[in-house]
Structure 1
Amino acid sequence: MANSGGYKPADHVGNTDFTRATVVIIGAGISGLCMAIDLLRRTPCRKFVILEQGSQVGGTWNDNKYPGCACDIWSALYSLSFEQKADWSREYPGQEELLDYLIHVAQKYRLYRYIRFNSAVDAARWDEDSHTWRVQVSVGGAKDGQFVSSYELTSDFLVSAVGQLNLPQWPSLPGLDDFTGKVMHSARWDWTYDWADKRVAIIGNGASALQIAPEIAPAAAHLTVYQRTPNWVIPRMDRRVTGAEQTLLGALPPARWLKRAVMMQMREVSHGLVTDPKSSSVTYLRDWALGSMKQALPGRPDLWAALTPDYQLGCKRILVSDNYYQTLGRENVTLETREVARVTESGIETVDGAVRDVDLIVCATGFRTVEFLHPVQVTGREGRPLDSVWAGGASAYYGVTVEEMPNFGMLYGPNTNLGHNSIILMIEAQSRYLSALIDRVVRARDQGQSLVLQPRTEVVRSLNHQIQTQLQETSFADPTCRSWYKTADGRITNNWPGTAVQYQKELATVRWADYAVSGTAADTVAGRRPTRIGRVVEEWPVSWWTMALGAGAVGWWSYTRYFSRA
Structure 2
Amino acid sequence: MTRFQAGRPVGNQDYTSSTVVIIGAGISGLCMAIDIIKRSQCRNLVILEKGSQVGGTWNDNRYPGCACDVWSTLYSFSFEQKTDWTREHPGQEEIRDYLIHVAEKYGLYKYIRFNTTVQEARWDDKELKWKVSVATSGAKEPQFHESYDITTDFLVSAVGQLNVPSFPSIPGLDDFTGKLMHSARWDWTYDFAGKRVAIIGNGATCAQIVPELAKSVSQVTVYQRTPNWVIPRYDTSVSFIQRFLLSYVPPIRWCKRALMMQAREFSHDAIAKADSAMSGYIRKIAIATMKSQVCDKPELWDKLTPEYSPGCKRLIPSDDFYPALNKKNVHLETRPIQRIAESGIETVDGDLQEYDLIVAATGFRSVEFMHPIQVYGRNGRPVSDVWKDGAAAYYGVTVEDLPNFGMLYGPNTNLGHNSIILMIEAQSRYLSTLIGEVVRAKARSDSLVLQPRPDVVAAFNDRLQEQLETSSFADPHCHSWYKLENGRITNNWPGRVVPYQKDLSRVRWEDYVVEGTGKSLVERKKTTNIGRVQEELPVRSSTLVLGALGAALAVGGYYMNGPQALLQRRR
Q: Same fold, TM exceeding 0.5?
A: yes
Residue among 221, 231, 234 paired with 2:218: 221
Among the aligned pairs, what percent are the same residue? Answer: 63
Unmatched segments (≥5 aa) in structure 1: 6-12, 551-566
> How far apart are residue 545 of structure 1 and its match?
9.7
Partner of 1:386 in structure 2?
Answer: 383
| Counterpart residue type for residue 124 of structure 1 | A
Deviations 1:442-469 (A, max 9, x none): 0000110100000000000000000000
Report matched runs for 1:494-533 at 5 Å: 494-533=491-530
The DSSP-based 3-state class of the residue aligned with 2:523 is coil
C-alpha distance in 2 between matches for 1:291 and 1:144: 55
Partner of 1:335 in structure 2?
Answer: 332
> How far apart are residue 110 of structure 1 and its match?
0.5
Contact 1:348–1:356 (8 Å) recurs in 2: yes
- 1:116 has 2:113 as partner: yes
C-alpha distance in 2 between matches for 1:546 and 1:24: 43
Contact 1:162–1:373 (8 Å) recurs in 2: yes
Indicate how the Cα distance of structure 1 residues 248 and 14 shifts in structure 2: closer, same or farther if over 3 A, else same: farther
The DSSP-based 3-state class of the residue aligned with 1:307 is coil
C-alpha distance in 1 between matches for 2:438 and 2:272: 38
> How far apart are residue 528 of structure 1 and its match?
2.5
Residue among 20, 26, 29 paired with 2:26: 29
> How far apart are residue 15 of structure 1 and its match?
1.1
C-alpha distance in 2 between matches for 1:546 and 1:31: 32
Partner of 1:347 in structure 2?
Answer: 344
Partner of 1:84 in structure 2?
Answer: 81
C-alpha distance in 1 between matches for 2:542 and 2:24: 39
- 1:164 has 2:161 as partner: yes
Report matched runs for 1:369-448 at 5 Å: 369-448=366-445
> How far apart are residue 525 of structure 1 and its match?
1.1
The DSSP-based 3-state class of the residue aligned with 1:257 is helix
> How far apart are residue 543 of structure 1 and its match?
7.3
- 1:69 has 2:70 as partner: no
C-alpha distance in 2 between matches for 1:144 and 1:358: 39
Partner of 2:196 in structure 1?
Answer: 199
> How far apart are residue 80 of structure 1 and its match?
0.2
> How far apart are residue 142 of structure 1 and its match?
1.9
> How far apart are residue 172 of structure 1 and its match?
1.1
Aligned residues: 542
- 1:60 has 2:20 as partner: no
C-alpha distance in 1 between matches for 2:334 and 2:404: 48
| Counterpart residue type for residue 318 of structure 1 | L
| Counterpart residue type for residue 392 of structure 1 | D
Unmatched segments (≥5 aa) in structure 2: 5-9, 548-571
C-alpha distance in 1 between matches for 2:540 and 2:137: 50
The DSSP-based 3-state class of the residue aligned with 1:268 is helix
Deviations 1:130-170 (A, max 9, x none): 11000001111121111101111000000000000000001
C-alpha distance in 1 between matches for 2:268 and 2:543: 25
Report matched runs for 1:137-286 at 5 Å: 137-286=134-283
> How far apart are residue 540 of structure 1 and its match?
2.8
Partner of 1:47 in structure 2?
Answer: 44
> How far apart are residue 194 of structure 1 and its match?
1.1
The DSSP-based 3-state class of the residue aligned with 2:133 is strand
Contact 2:71–2:88 (8 Å) recurs in 1: yes
> How far apart are residue 121 of structure 1 and its match?
0.4
| Counterpart residue type for residue 346 of structure 1 | S
> How far apart are residue 282 of structure 1 and its match?
1.5
| Counterpart residue type for residue 414 of structure 1 | P
Deviations 1:220-279 (A, max 9, x none): 011100001000010000000000100010011111111000000000000011001121
C-alpha distance in 1 between matches for 2:41 and 2:257: 31
> How far apart are residue 4 of structure 1 and its match?
8.5
Deviations 1:168-192 (A, max 9, x none): 0011111111111101100000000
| Counterpart residue type for residue 324 of structure 2 | T
C-alpha distance in 1 between matches for 2:524 and 2:200: 55
| Counterpart residue type for residue 74 of structure 1 | W
C-alpha distance in 1 between matches for 2:358 and 2:74: 34
Contact 1:399–1:416 (8 Å) recurs in 2: yes
Contact 1:124–1:133 (8 Å) recurs in 2: yes
Partner of 1:453 in structure 2?
Answer: 450
- 1:308 has 2:309 as partner: no
* Structure 1 range deviating more: 154-163 or 537-546: 537-546
Indicate how the Cα distance of structure 1 residues 125 and 175 shifts in structure 2: closer, same or farther if over 3 A, else same: same
C-alpha distance in 2 between matches for 1:546 and 1:65: 42
Contact 1:513–1:527 (8 Å) recurs in 2: no
C-alpha distance in 1 between matches for 2:419 and 2:166: 23
> How far apart are residue 43 of structure 1 and its match?
1.2
Contact 2:257–2:535 (8 Å) recurs in 1: yes
Deviations 1:69-113 (A, max 9, x none): 000000000000000000000000000000000000000000000
Contact 1:50–1:114 (8 Å) recurs in 2: yes
Partner of 1:296 in structure 2?
Answer: 293
> How far apart are residue 281 of structure 1 and its match?
2.0
Partner of 1:562 in structure 2?
Answer: none
| Counterpart residue type for residue 511 of structure 1 | R
C-alpha distance in 1 between matches for 2:220 and 2:119: 39
